[in-house]
C-alpha cells in the first residue's frame, strides 16, 4: 500500500476538512467533531463524533462499492480520515424520502410517519446565499448545473442505493426514513457518489420503538441542557455504529 502524503488544506465545511495529497486525483477527508443544524445557525462540539461518522460512512461506502456502484471512497486511512477520489461536486443535494418526515412534513402539512408507496426524490440547489432552495429538474438544467441525461443517470443510481440501504438497515432493525446524497465528477468526468452517509445526512428510526437514531436528536434537543444533548447525540451515533458492526 502506497504511503499517503497529506498536503495543504483544500477546503473546509461545517463537519469535514478536505486535504490535498501527493496524488492530484486523490484527497483526504477529515471528519470533525462538530454538529450543526438549521443551516449552521446552531452548532456544537461533540468529542469524537468525527470518529463515529468516519467509521459509519466507511462501512456504508464499502457496502455500496461492493455492489459495483461507483463512489469516491477508496479506503479508510485512520480513525478520522478517508482517502477518496478528488471530485468536483455537483452543487445539488438529492434527498430520497421513504417515510414522511422533516421539511416535507412541514412544507406539505402532511403527518410525519406516513410510509410512501414509492420513494420521493427531491433536489436542493446548494447555494448558501439562497439557503439551499428546493428546485426541480428543469431548474437544475436551466441553471446549467447538470443535463437531463445526467439527472436520469443519477436517479437510477439513487434508486439502486435506496433499495440496497433500505434492505441493509432493515436487517439492523432500522427504518431508513430519508437520506441526502451528493455526487461529483472525477478527473475522468465519471459521476461518483460522494460526500458522506451518516446520521448527519440520514434519518434513521428504530424498527420497534420508532426512536429517532440520527441528527434529529440534536435538532429536537436544542433547548435542553447542552451537555445532556451532546451525550444523547453521541450515544445515538454509537448505537448506529454498533448495529452496523453486527454481522
Average pLDDT over residues 189-193: 98
- State the pLDDT at residue 42: 76
Tens digit of each residue's pLDDT (9 = 90 or more) over 198-244: 999 999 999 999 999 999 988 876 455 556 778 899 999 999 999 99
Cβ contact 173:208 at 8 Å: yes
How far apart are the C-alpha atoms of 139 and 189, rounded to whole Å? 22
Confidence category of residue 161, pLDDT binned at 50, 70, 90: very high
Cell numbers that stand for 22 in this block: 501527493
Checking if the pLDDT of 5 tops 90, the result is no
- State the pLDDT at residue 229: 79
Cβ contact 168:155 at 8 Å: no
Residue 178: phi and psi, rounded to 5, are -160, 170
| Arithmetic mean of pLDDT over the chain | 94
**What global pTM score does this model have?**
0.94
Average pLDDT over residues 41-70: 95
How far apart are the C-alpha atoms of 74 and 53, rounded to whole Å? 16
How far apart are the C-alpha atoms of 235 and 41, rounded to whole Å? 23
Amino acid at each position: 500500500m502506497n504511503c499517503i502524503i497529506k498536503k495543504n488544506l483544500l477546503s473546509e465545511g461545517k463537519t469535514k476538512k478536505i486535504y490535498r495529497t501527493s496524488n492530484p486525483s486523490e484527497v483526504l477527508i477529515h471528519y470533525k467533531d462538530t454538529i450543526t443544524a438549521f443551516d449552521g445557525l446552531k452548532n456544537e462540539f461533540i468529542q469524537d463524533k468525527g470518529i463515529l461518522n468516519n467509521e459509519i460512512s466507511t462501512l456504508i461506502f464499502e457496502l455500496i462499492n461492493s455492489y459495483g456502484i461507483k463512489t469516491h471512497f477508496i479506503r479508510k486511512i485512520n480513525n478520522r480520515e478517508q482517502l477518496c477520489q478528488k471530485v468536483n461536486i455537483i452543487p445539488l443535494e438529492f434527498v430520497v424520502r421513504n417515510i414522511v418526515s422533516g421539511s416535507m412534513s412541514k412544507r406539505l402539512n402532511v403527518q410525519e410517519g406516513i410510509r410512501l408507496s414509492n420513494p420521493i426524490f427531491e433536489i436542493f440547489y446548494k447555494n448558501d446565499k439562497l439557503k439551499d432552495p428546493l428546485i426541480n429538474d428543469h431548474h437544475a438544467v436551466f441553471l446549467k448545473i447538470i443535463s437531463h441525461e445526467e439527472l436520469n443517470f443519477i436517479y437510477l443510481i439513487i434508486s439502486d442505493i435506496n433499495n440496497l440501504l433500505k434492505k441493509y438497515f432493515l436487517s439492523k432493525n432500522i427504518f431508513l426514513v430519508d437520506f441526502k446524497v451528493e455526487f461529483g465528477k472525477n478527473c475522468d468526468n465519471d459521476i461518483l457518489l460522494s460526500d458522506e452517509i451518516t446520521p448527519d445526512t440520514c434519518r434513521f428510526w428504530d424498527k420497534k420503538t420508532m426512536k429517532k437514531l440520527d441528527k434529529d436528536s440534536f435538532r429536537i434537543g436544542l433547548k435542553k441542557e447542552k451537555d445532556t444533548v451532546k451525550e444523547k447525540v453521541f450515544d445515538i451515533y454509537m448505537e448506529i455504529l454498533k448495529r452496523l458492526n453486527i454481522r
